[in-house]
Structure 1
Amino acid sequence: MDDAQTAPATAHGTSQQTPKHLVIVGAGFAGLSLAKALKDPNLRITIVDQRNHHLFQPLLYQVATTILPTSDVAWPIRHLFKNRRDVTTLLAQVTGIDTVARRVDLKNAAPLHYDLLALATGARHSYFGHDEWEAAAPGLKSLEDATTIRRRVLSAFEQAELSTDPAERAALLTFVVVGAGPTGVELAGIIAELAQEILPKEFRHIDTHQARVILVEAGPRVLPAFPPDMSDYVQTALTKLGVTVMTGTSVSDVSDQGVAVGTEQIPARTTIWAAGVTASPAAQWLHVPADRAGRVLVNPDLSVPGHPDIYVIGDTASVKQANGQQVPGLAPAAKQQGAFVAKVIKARLDGKTPPPAFLYRHAGNLATVGKRAAVADFGRVKLKGPLAWWLWGIAHIYFLIGTRSRLAVALSWLWSYVTGRNSARLITQRDVYSNKR
């Protein structure tokens, strides 16, 4: 019998109405928000993810730059739903979807049959047609990415300490970050702080003050989603930290030897990619139209055109606001979409009229530069400097899952702020992109 058609027994051994089966692919902010907001006796939920943990991506760069350990930004999905008997969690990889048979195909596992389907499969970094650059310039979307970047940054200082070749030592102490959105700005700022404030007393043969951190942005300014005055403030703060900011120029080549920016070749052994993202293959699975970034073009209620029982949410969906602008790929937007689809499905199960359209409520943009400077844009209210930094910290701690995580992150930040030392400077495991480090 189909796994979606098995009716549970009541306490007296008689059969109840068969619950509908909702399959959620992806346990990021959107998928998790949907599952947590949706409880109905006539519905059972299966969450499928290729990793066993939910990841708090806004703080992932702090794992990559030695401030936080991995356990502070990720939580086992099964643990989050341990008290929800209506929720089943599967560690599996989706290989395709058959919309006619209502089936989700899994790698090396039996397919799942669904009545309702939600795709919240997120996005990966985009190399704009140069996927071969990934080995030399990893992006930052997973714990594996973060630990790889942390390993490469720390190993570069260690190898520079051993090197007797001035040119090689200079290349090892050059760090290039491609892309000056919030992730790129935050990465560049903390790597600079690491070199200028945290490591100088720990090495004997190199002066870490001589490290170069270069931030490359193809657009005219850093943080293009922020107002120009805030971009100017952030660029000034980066410059004070020793970061070289190169705007209006794009990367033309990346290798393990360095980066070509315009006509200039920059010898660098560590390059980090923060320049763009592309959606998961959800549109290909469904054989439906997508935008240039691969995001599924959805209806106002976030369902897929021609497939009213399939919803696409989070970074996988192309959603327009009332003003015609794209809903940003931010955690608050993904959580709002998950909660909205929960209301739609709940209304349908109850035989009520579902809300007609998703309305995005902008919660503001925040970005930090190191441990002392930040910007916060809430529309009419705009903040810069230490106050914005404290607000940024409070907001991120508030959105963390679980009291223990909030306390652990707060203590790590306090330790780093007071002592000037980071708590997660360990070189562990092997590089997932290369065997060289």
Structure 2
Amino acid sequence: MSEPEHHVVVVGAGFGGLELTRALAGAAVRITMIDKRNHHLFQPLLYQVATTSLATSEVAWPIRHLLRRRKDVTTLLGTVTGIDRAGKRVVLEDGGSVPFDTLVLATGARHAYFGHDEWEPFAPGLKTIEDATAIRRRILLAFEQAERETDPARRQALLTLVIVGGGPTGVELAGTIVELAHDTLRGEFRNIDTRQARVVLIEAGDRILANFAPQLSDYARKALERLGVTVELGRPVTQLDAEGVVFGDKRLPARTIIWAAGVAASPAAEWLGT
């Protein structure tokens, strides 16, 4: 039996790409799945990897393994850099290309620093496994460095962890980090009391979880404050560097800053010239 002639190319093996591929099972098409990583990521649980609660293997699964029973699907590891619309080809970073009859772009989102991309080295976002492990390293090293620091002001800066952005990711991170400091790491250090760590959540708007009902936002804020999180509302971050953040008229010394304030679409629209 010959293969179907109609070729569907799906770029991105996230939730959208995999769900579409699942829905096309049994259709008279052949499918090529292209992703720049070899694993599907359950992104909602990344914050638990970043805060030591989960291992990376618990939130990522090989794409080939997920699609192993789909003989109509070919999986390719590659980074897409453009789309040849006239020639109906997907252009890859290594110079190769993949022809298509129907193209599906399911490439997700990336961090947005609202015109301040220079902040990224000091305040990483949380979108990939690499981001999560880098943030986990920063958090744990802050406690290790505080254990050896003798200057009280520098020690407090090391024990101050800031999350910028009060959406779901920021709220989850703040709550989990404060539990890590106050419970998980309690008693493991000799020169510092990890319960003295300060977790600060900064949100430019007048409430966290702005897309939720106001009563749920209020409940979440009170729950975080009961855990020990300091919630700062209504003052956007205007400056950020390796030593801390400025929001409103206040400068807060902090050596660990995590960005959870915004996202932007992938470059897919640029590939299409739209």
TM-score w.r.t. length of structure 1:
0.62
- Would you say 1:231 and 2:202 are equivalent positions? no
Relative to structure 1, the CA distance from residue 248 to residue 171 in structure 2 (aligned partners, 3 Å threshold; closer, same or farther) is same
C-alpha distance in 1 between matches for 2:76 and 2:171: 36
**Equivalent in 110, 114, 136 of residue 124 of structure 1:** 110
Maintained 8 Å contact 1:54/1:77:
yes
- What is the SS of the residue equivalent to 1:202? coil
**1:176 maps to which residue?**
162
Deviation at 1:83, TM superposition (A): 1.2
**2:46 maps to which residue?**
60
- Would you say 1:248 and 2:221 are equivalent positions? no
Residue identity in the other structure for 2:249: T
Maintained 8 Å contact 2:164/2:257:
yes
Residue identity in the other structure for 2:184: I
| Percent of paired sites with the same residue | 62
- What is the SS of the residue equivalent to 1:219? coil
**1:212 maps to which residue?**
198
- Would you say 1:76 and 2:62 are equivalent positions? yes
- The worse-fitting range, judged by mean Cα deviation, of 17-26 and 257-266 is 17-26
**1:269 maps to which residue?**
255
Gaps of 5+ in 2: none
Residue identity in the other structure for 1:217: E
Relative to structure 1, the CA distance from residue 68 to residue 17 in structure 2 (aligned partners, 3 Å threshold; closer, same or farther) is closer
Residue identity in the other structure for 2:152: P
Relative to structure 1, the CA distance from residue 17 to residue 271 in structure 2 (aligned partners, 3 Å threshold; closer, same or farther) is closer
- Would you say 1:42 and 2:28 are equivalent positions? yes
C-alpha distance in 2 between matches for 1:248 and 1:226: 17
C-alpha distance in 2 between matches for 1:187 and 1:78: 31
C-alpha distance in 1 between matches for 2:133 and 2:126: 10
- Would you say 1:135 and 2:121 are equivalent positions? yes
C-alpha distance in 2 between matches for 1:230 and 1:196: 25
- Alignment RMSD, CA only? 1.1
Matches within 5 A, 1:339-354: none
Relative to structure 1, the CA distance from residue 168 to residue 23 in structure 2 (aligned partners, 3 Å threshold; closer, same or farther) is same
- Give CA deviations for 1:97-119 in whole Å, capped at 9, x if unaligned: 01111010001142001000000
Residue identity in the other structure for 2:200: I
Matches within 5 A, 1:395-410: none
Relative to structure 1, the CA distance from residue 245 to residue 159 in structure 2 (aligned partners, 3 Å threshold; closer, same or farther) is same
Deviation at 1:225, TM superposition (A): 1.2
C-alpha distance in 1 between matches for 2:232 and 2:174: 12
C-alpha distance in 2 between matches for 1:197 and 1:18: 57
Maintained 8 Å contact 2:164/2:202:
yes
- What is the SS of the residue equivalent to 1:246? strand
TM-score w.r.t. length of structure 2:
0.98
C-alpha distance in 2 between matches for 1:170 and 1:217: 22
Gaps of 5+ in 1: 1-9, 11-15, 289-437
Deviation at 1:264, TM superposition (A): 1.0
Deviation at 1:17, TM superposition (A): 6.8
Deviation at 1:40, TM superposition (A): 3.6
**Equivalent in 78, 81, 87 of residue 73 of structure 2:** 87
- What is the SS of the residue equivalent to 1:185? helix
Residue identity in the other structure for 2:164: V
- What is the SS of the residue equivalent to 1:189? helix
**1:201 maps to which residue?**
187
Maintained 8 Å contact 1:174/1:270:
yes
Maintained 8 Å contact 1:213/1:244:
yes
Residue identity in the other structure for 2:227: L
C-alpha distance in 2 between matches for 1:115 and 1:228: 46
- Give CA deviations for 1:125-152 in whole Å, capped at 9, x if unaligned: 1000111111100000000000011010
Residue identity in the other structure for 1:128: F
- Give CA deviations for 1:383-428 in whole Å, capped at 9, x if unaligned: xxxxxxxxxxxxxxxxxxxxxxxxxxxxxxxxxxxxxxxxxxxxxx
**1:367 maps to which residue?**
none
- Would you say 1:165 and 2:151 are equivalent positions? yes
Deviation at 1:23, TM superposition (A): 0.5
Alignment coverage as a number of residue pairs: 274
Maintained 8 Å contact 1:139/1:145:
yes
**2:85 maps to which residue?**
99
Larger radius of gyration: 1
- What is the SS of the residue equivalent to 2:114? coil
Structure 1 stretches of 4+ with a deviation exceeding 6 A read: none
Residue identity in the other structure for 1:151: R
**1:23 maps to which residue?**
9
C-alpha distance in 1 between matches for 2:262 and 2:140: 25
Residue identity in the other structure for 1:244: T
Maintained 8 Å contact 1:19/1:41:
no
